[in-house]
Amino acid sequence: MERLLLDLVLLYAVAKGFEWVLRRFNIVPAVAYIAAGIVLGSSVLGVVKPSDSLEALSYLGLLLLLLYTGLTTSFSELRSARRWVIAVGVGGVATTIALSFSALKMLGFDNAKALLISIILSNTATEIVAASVTSIHNEFLKSLVVGASLADDIMAVFVLSTVSSLYMGSASLLSIARSALFTALFLVGITILGDYLVSRPELFYKRLAMDRVAFASASMLLATLMALLTRVAGLGELIGVYMAGLLISRSREVHDPLLIMRRALTELVDQLSVFIEALALPLFFTYIGLVTEVKAIDLALYSTLLLVAITGKLVGCGVPAYFATKSKEQATLVGFAMIGRGALETALLKILLDSGIISVAEYTTILLTSLTTSVLAPQIVGAVARRIKA
């Protein structure tokens, strides 16, 4: 326990120190936190080592961030933009896979490895999107980006698990169909449940809003329950936590003359945002930096993958976003908001490394590519959002 506490003190102190310095240059805190993890980790000083306890704490911060994102997302905007959400998500995934696969083949990778790596790179990290959209005030753009990142997550996880299983000889048409059916049923079910609770607010929203502690407790319980359900189903717990936040946020749609429910939701969001900014984000992003090993990087592969990773999202997401917004600036903002990769890619890369599909150098290079996009996304989105006042 003493070791864990010391590690937490070091990570938090250095992260906040870096944040104070970098804020003077208008650099987002996430960059400072990741840099702190790299400096304290094995790449530089080696004074803090990754551990199960640190990973668990960082992941708790990630789950709270996704819950907060769901709570602050407008479901009505998300629903009205659903066709564009799908178009942006599909466009980003398809374009990135095509560009990455072509580039990797040119570098001499075989079909199986090139396809698996391309699918991993095609994913947009919802957690990075959640950190990036805080600088976007346009509700339609915010809903479009968050919704597209979720659609992206679902597609990437489903396609990767299917392709991986096919290459390992464990997939069947029945298992693939079952996964696709469950995904569709889950998303439809959450929408139907939300519609029902909005039409009968006394069953949930009004009852809990009278007691702020009960409202917050029920929100946390729902988030953990849905995280467990989606985890067991193979969809990923991040999707479940976000959907829980989105379900709770629909209390805004209930006729509320005394604003009791709106005040309860606003209070929960405000308290959660303080905790996230003060502790959850530093823990999550410092751990990303901590597990990054910069010594074995392949510069040629890194440069190639970084180029296709950014271009794939900028073009694949930006084009449909342009038709949705009729604005080149807003479409560019959406494209850059979708470039960030994160925790899912790290876990999937570790699986490929442990199974011997990729080498340590390839693992490190791809991981650093994801890390670079995670650093760039919030910075670029913040700068673009300020310039176009989105």
Rounded CA-CA distance 290/12 in Å is 12
Whether 239 has a pLDDT exceeding 80, the answer reads: no
Task: Provide the Cα torsion 273, 154, 222, 269; round to 10°.
Answer: 20
In a domain, 6, yes or no: no
In a domain, 33, yes or no: no
In a domain, 39, yes or no: no
Angle at CA 197, nearest 5°, toward 191 and 198? 90
Exposed/middle/buried for 262, CB within 10 Å: 0-12, 13-18, 19+? middle
Angle at CA 131, nearest 5°, toward 84 and 160? 60
Q: Work out the average pLDDT over 214-239.
A: 82
In a domain, 26, yes or no: no
For residue range 362-390, list pLDDT tens digits in order.
877 887 888 788 778 888 888 888 888 76
For residue range 54-109, list pLDDT tens digits in order.
888 888 887 887 788 778 777 776 677 778 888 998 899 899 999 999 999 999 99
In a domain, 35, yes or no: no
Which of 26, 236, 27 has its CA nearest to residue 126?
236
Report residue 126's pLDDT band, with 50, 70 and 90 as the boundaries: confident
Q: What is the pLDDT of residue 174?
A: 65
Rounded CA-CA distance 275/64 in Å is 9
With beta carbons less than 8 A apart as the criterion, state whether 304 and 107 touch: yes
Rounded CA-CA distance 300/190 in Å is 45
Q: Work out the average pLDDT over 170-180.
A: 60
Rounded CA-CA distance 310/64 in Å is 27
CA atoms within 13 A on the CB side of 215: 25
Number of domains in the chain: 1
In a domain, 57, yes or no: no
Its domain, for residue 211, covers 74-273+293-388
For residue 131, the domain's CATH number is 1.20.1530.20
Rounded CA-CA distance 170/40 in Å is 41
Q: What is the pLDDT of residue 144?
A: 84
